[in-house]
Amino acid sequence: MTQKRVWLFHEGNADMRNLLGGKGANLAEMTNLGLPVPPGLTITTETCMDYISNGNQMPENLMAEVKYALKEVEDQAGKKFGDASNPLLVSVRSGARLSMPGMMETVLNLGLNDSTLQGMINLTNNERFCYDSYRRFLTMFGSVVLDIERVEFENVLDTVKENEGVKLDTEVSVAGLKSLIPAYKAIIRQHTGEDFPQDPYEQLQAAIEAVFRSWNIPRAIAYRNHYKIDHNYGTAVNVQTMVFGNMGDDCATGVSFTRNPSTGENKFYGEYLTNAQGEDVVAGIRTPKQIAELENEMPELYRQYVDIAKKLEQGYKDVQDMEFTIERGKLYILQTRNGKRTAKAAVRIAVEMAKEGIITKERAIQLVDPYQLYQLLLPSFDETAKKSAVHLATGLAASPGAAVGKIVFDTEEAAERGNSGENIILVRIETCPDDIHGMIASQGVLTLRGGMTSHAAVVAKGMGKPCVAGAEDLKIDLNNETLTTSSGKVFRKNDIISLDGGTGEVMEGSVKTEVPEMDENFNTLFTWVDEIKRLAVRANADTPQDVAKALELGAKGVGLCRTEHMFMDPERLPWVQKMIIAGTPEARKEALDQLLPMQYNDFYQMFKAMGELPMTVRLLDPPLHEFLPNKEDLIATVAAKKALGQDYKSDEEMLHVVESLSESNPMMGLRGCRLGLTYPEINEMQVRAIFSACCDLKKEGLDVKPEIMIPLVGHVNELKTVKEVLERVAKEIMAEKSVDVNYMFGTMIEIPRAALTADEIAEYAEFFSFGTNDLTQMTFGYSRDDAEGKFLTRYVEQKILPRNPFESLDTTGVGQLMEIALQKALPVRSNLKRGICGEHGGDPDSVKFCHKIGLQYVSCSPFRVPQARLAAAQAVVEENSLAHSQL
Amino acid sequence: MTQKRVWLFHEGNADMRNLLGGKGANLAEMTNLGLPVPPGLTITTETCMDYISNGNQMPENLMAEVKYALKEVEDQAGKKFGDASNPLLVSVRSGARLSMPGMMETVLNLGLNDSTLQGMINLTNNERFCYDSYRRFLTMFGSVVLDIERVEFENVLDTVKENEGVKLDTEVSVAGLKSLIPAYKAIIRQHTGEDFPQDPYEQLQAAIEAVFRSWNIPRAIAYRNHYKIDHNYGTAVNVQTMVFGNMGDDCATGVSFTRNPSTGENKFYGEYLTNAQGEDVVAGIRTPKQIAELENEMPELYRQYVDIAKKLEQGYKDVQDMEFTIERGKLYILQTRNGKRTAKAAVRIAVEMAKEGIITKERAIQLVDPYQLYQLLLPSFDETAKKSAVHLATGLAASPGAAVGKIVFDTEEAAERGNSGENIILVRIETCPDDIHGMIASQGVLTLRGGMTSHAAVVAKGMGKPCVAGAEDLKIDLNNETLTTSSGKVFRKNDIISLDGGTGEVMEGSVKTEVPEMDENFNTLFTWVDEIKRLAVRANADTPQDVAKALELGAKGVGLCRTEHMFMDPERLPWVQKMIIAGTPEARKEALDQLLPMQYNDFYQMFKAMGELPMTVRLLDPPLHEFLPNKEDLIATVAAKKALGQDYKSDEEMLHVVESLSESNPMMGLRGCRLGLTYPEINEMQVRAIFSACCDLKKEGLDVKPEIMIPLVGHVNELKTVKEVLERVAKEIMAEKSVDVNYMFGTMIEIPRAALTADEIAEYAEFFSFGTNDLTQMTFGYSRDDAEGKFLTRYVEQKILPRNPFESLDTTGVGQLMEIALQKALPVRSNLKRGICGEHGGDPDSVKFCHKIGLQYVSCSPFRVPQARLAAAQAVVEENSLAHSQL
Instruction: Spell out the alpha helix ranges (H) of B215-297.
Output: 218-227, 278-283, 293-297
Q: Give CA separation, A750 vs A264, A710, A769, in Å.
A: 42, 11, 8
Range A444-468 average pLDDT: 81
Chain A touched by B777 (CB under 8 Å): yes
The whole-number pLDDT of residue A398 equals 83
Q: State the pLDDT confidence band at A283, using cuts at 50, 70 and 90.
A: low
A704 CB-near residues (< 8 Å, 6+ apart): A607, A610, A611, A612, A615, A694, A697, A698, A741, A742
State the pLDDT at residue A741: 97
The pLDDT value given to residue A178: 96
Q: B223 at the A interface (CB within 8 A)?
A: no
Q: Which of A276-280, A297-301, A463-467 has the lowest mean pLDDT?
A: A276-280
Q: What is the mean pLDDT of chain A?
A: 91
Q: Between A716-737 and A680-699, two packed helices, what is the crossing angle to 10 degrees?
A: 40
Instruction: Fill in the DSSP letter of residue A340.
Output: P
Nearest chain B Cα distance for residue A94, angstroms: 30
pLDDT over 80 at A516, yes or no = no
pLDDT in tens, B275-322: 887 766 765 567 888 999 999 999 999 999 999 999 889 988 999 989
pLDDT of residue A343: 86
| A1 has pLDDT over 60 | no
Q: Which residues of A touch B790 (CB under 8 A)?
A: 663, 669-670, 674, 678
Q: What are phi and psi of A362, to 5 degrees?
A: -60, -45
Q: Is B433 on the interface with A (CB under 8 A)?
A: no
In percent, the amount of chain B with pLDDT more than 90 equals 66
| B712 chain-A contacts, CB cut-off 8 A | 781
Asked if pLDDT for residue A886 goes beyond 70, the answer is no
The set of catalytic residues of B is: 455, 837
Q: Indicate yes or no: CB of A632 within 8 angstroms of CB of B632.
A: yes
Phi, psi of B88 (to 5 degrees): -90, 120
Across residues A788-795, what is the average pLDDT? Answer: 84
Residue B810 clears pLDDT 60, i.e. is over it: yes
- Cβ neighbour number for residue B280 with a 10 Å cutoff: 16
Residues 6+ apart with CB under 8 A from B656: none
The reported pLDDT for the residue numbered A400 is 81
Distance from CA of B472 to the nearest CA of A (A): 12
Cα–Cα distance for residue pair B432/B450, rounded to 1 Å:
11
B791 touches chain A (CB under 8 A): yes
Q: Residue A672 in 3-state DSSP?
A: coil
Highest mean pLDDT among A821-830, B380-389, B425-434: A821-830
Q: Average of pLDDT values for A558-568? A: 89
Predicted pLDDT at B1? 44
Mean pLDDT, residues A386-405: 90
A-facing residues of B in 808-867 (CB < 8 A) are 810, 812-814, 816-817
CB atoms within 10 A of CB B394: 16
- Banded pLDDT at A627 (limits 50, 70, 90): confident
For A287, other C-beta atoms within 10 Å of its C-beta total 7
Respond yes or no on whether ipTM tops 0.90.
no
How far B204 CA sits from the closest chain A CA (Å)? 43
8 A C-beta contact, residue B409 and residue B481 = yes
Between A and B, how many residue pairs show a Cβ–Cβ distance under 8 A? 210
| Closest Cα in chain B to A635 | B636
> Is residue B676 within 8 Å of B586, Cβ to Cβ?
no
Chain B: closest CA distance from residue A846 (Å): 18
Rg from Cα positions in chain A: 34
Q: What are phi and psi of A830, to 5 degrees?
A: -70, -25
What's the average model confidence in pLDDT over B365-381?
87
Amino acid A284: pLDDT: 59
Residue B2 has pLDDT above 60, yes or no: no
| A146: pLDDT strictly greater than 70 | yes
Which residues in chain B are closer than 8 Å to A814, comparing Cβ atoms? 753
- What pLDDT is recorded for position A580? 87
d(CA A746, CA A726): 12
The pLDDT, as a whole number, for residue B145 is 94
Considering only CB atoms, which chain A residues are within 8 Å of B794? Answer: 677-678
Res B399: pLDDT: 83
Q: What is the mean pLDDT of chain B?
A: 91
Using the predicted structure, report yes or no on whether residue A599 has a pLDDT greater than 90: yes
Where residue A656 falls among pLDDT bands split at 50, 70, 90? Answer: confident
Closest chain B residue by Cα to residue A817: B756
Look at residue B602 in the predicted model and tell me its pLDDT: 93
Alpha-carbon distance B107 to B90, whole Å? Answer: 9
Per-residue pLDDT at A581 exceeds 90: no
**What is the arithmetic mean of pLDDT over B89-109?**
87
- Residues in B 633-652 with any Cβ partner in A closer than 8 A: 635-644
Give the burial string for A242-253 (b: 16+ CB within 10 Å, else e).
bbbbbbbeebbb
Q: Which residue of A has its CA nearest to B810?
A: A753
Residues 653 through 692 of chain B touching chain A, CB cutoff 8 Å? 663-670, 674, 677-678
Which residues does chain A have within 8 Å of residue B666's beta carbon, measured at their own beta carbons?
Answer: 664-665, 783, 786
Q: Per residue in A229-267, pLDDT tens?
A: 888 999 999 999 999 888 888 999 988 999 998 889 999
pTM over 0.90: no
Q: What pLDDT was estimated at residue B284?
A: 59
Crossing angle for the helix pair A370-377 and A865-885, to the nearest 10 degrees: 160
- The pLDDT confidence band at residue A887, using thresholds 50, 70 and 90, is low
